[in-house]
Amino acid sequence: MKPIEIQQLKKRFGQKSVLDGINLTLKPETIYALLGRNGAGKSTLFNIIANRIPQTAGTVTIEGQPISNNDQVLNRLYLMSEVNLYPPRMRVDEVFKTTAALYQGFDFDFADRMVNEFGLNTKTRFNKLSTGYRSILKLIVALAVDVDYVFLDEPTLGLDANHRELFYSLLMETYAERPRTFVISTHLIEEIANLVEQVLVLENGQLTVNDTAEHLSQLGLAVTGPVADVQTYTAGLNVIGHEALGKLRVDYIYGELNEQREIPDTVSISHLDLQKLFIYLTSQEVVNQ
């Protein structure tokens, strides 16, 4: 499968601009996190890629061919979202059969495994499933369809902590067996930090971060120490936030340190976790020293 190329993608709802010129290449066999505050446009981006809604401008292509209205290409990608695609009275086993008729190569063995691991009753009708089990059913379908790009919009909505763990481990298992691209939109960043290779951040209609998780974790640093020492040390660096801890201060840095500048003995430097880095990268306030 070739990469999905997104160029100058724009989406307006009436007067409101939601996506304002997104340029992005989604590579095959890669796990992405798509992050962004509420209303940043994550679902909108997914819906355009999966041809559920039209864009206002720009293109989404594979090998130069637009994805929209290209059934052959659309069959190679799957979007799991909060939208319920199934008739309310359809049973779980019927959902699998219907999906298998639409998507070739539905992995019934893996679906059965997931059904057993999650304790889902396949005779239950969709409208009788709890919120969590509706998500579980959709996740089973998303992991069992044989496609090259899987978009998961808030996949663990309503799942308890044990089921979230189980889902992540099954995701990694299927990814190892049959590598394909997963793009996961979530607010529970720390939970997926270990499985994600590439991080995308949407903010104010733009893609503000497109970097490897590894590189990001090197760029996010916390500088802790007495107020004056910290401020002197971080002057001129890219400070994205700070916190006061009594007489101590923590400055959060995104970017390289100044190698010419000696780190004072009173100051310690540690890596920021992805969740915290994201919070500061997408906070509305402009932080000045």
Ligand X SMILES: Nc1ncnc2c1ncn2[C@@H]1O[C@H](COP(=O)(O)OP(=O)(O)OP(=O)(O)O)[C@@H](O)[C@H]1O
Binding range to ligand X, per CB under 6 A, among 33-41, 61-69, 129-137, 276-284: 33-41
Binding range to ligand X, per CB under 6 A, among 34-42, 89-97, 143-151, 162-170: 34-42
Q: Which of 40, 152, 213, 272 binds ligand X (CB under 6 A)?
A: 40
Identify the H or E element spanning 40: none
Shortest distance, CB of residue 68 to ligand X, whole angstroms? 17
Count of residues that interact with ligand X, criterion CB under 6 A: 10
Binding range to ligand X, per CB under 6 A, among 40-48, 56-64, 156-164, 208-216: 40-48
Q: Which of 8, 13, 160, 266 binds ligand X (CB under 6 A)?
A: 13
What is the SS3 assignment for 145-159?
CCCCEEEEECCCCCC
277 binding ligand X? (CB under 6 A): no
205 binding ligand X? (CB under 6 A): no
Among residues 155 and 225, whose Cβ is nearest to ligand X?
155
Take residue 147 and report the two structure tokens written for it: 């496609």
186 binding ligand X? (CB under 6 A): no
Q: Which residues in 174-267 belong to E strands, given as ranges?
A: 181-185, 198-203, 206-212, 220-226, 239-245, 248-254
209 binding ligand X? (CB under 6 A): no
Q: Which of 36, 205, 220, 225 binds ligand X (CB under 6 A)?
A: 36
Shortest distance, CB of residue 57 to ligand X, whole angstroms? 16
Shortest distance, CB of residue 32 to ligand X, whole angstroms? 15
Cα 91 to Cα 134: distance, rounded to the nearest angstrom: 11
Shortest distance, CB of residue 40 to ligand X, whole angstroms? 4
Cα 77 to Cα 149: distance, rounded to the nearest angstrom: 5
Among residues 20 and 117, whose Cβ is nearest to ligand X?
20
Phi, psi of 224 (to 5 degrees): -120, 140
Cα 115 to Cα 160: distance, rounded to the nearest angstrom: 16
39 binding ligand X? (CB under 6 A): yes
Cα 279 to Cα 275: distance, rounded to the nearest angstrom: 6
DSSP β-ladder status, 198-203 and 31-35: parallel
Cα 19 to Cα 175: distance, rounded to the nearest angstrom: 30
135 binding ligand X? (CB under 6 A): no
Mask of contacts with ligand X, 42-61, x by CB under 6 A?
A: xxx-----------------
- What is the Rg, in whole angstroms, of the alpha carbon atoms belonging to the chain? 22
Among residues 11 and 249, whose Cβ is nearest to ligand X?
11
41 binding ligand X? (CB under 6 A): yes
Shortest distance, CB of residue 103 to ligand X, whole angstroms? 24
Q: What does each C-alpha distance from 167 to 28, 77, 170, 180, 289 come to in angstroms?
A: 21, 20, 5, 16, 42
Sign of CA dihedral 16, 18, 23, 26: negative
Binding site for ligand X (CB under 6 A): 13, 18, 36, 38-44
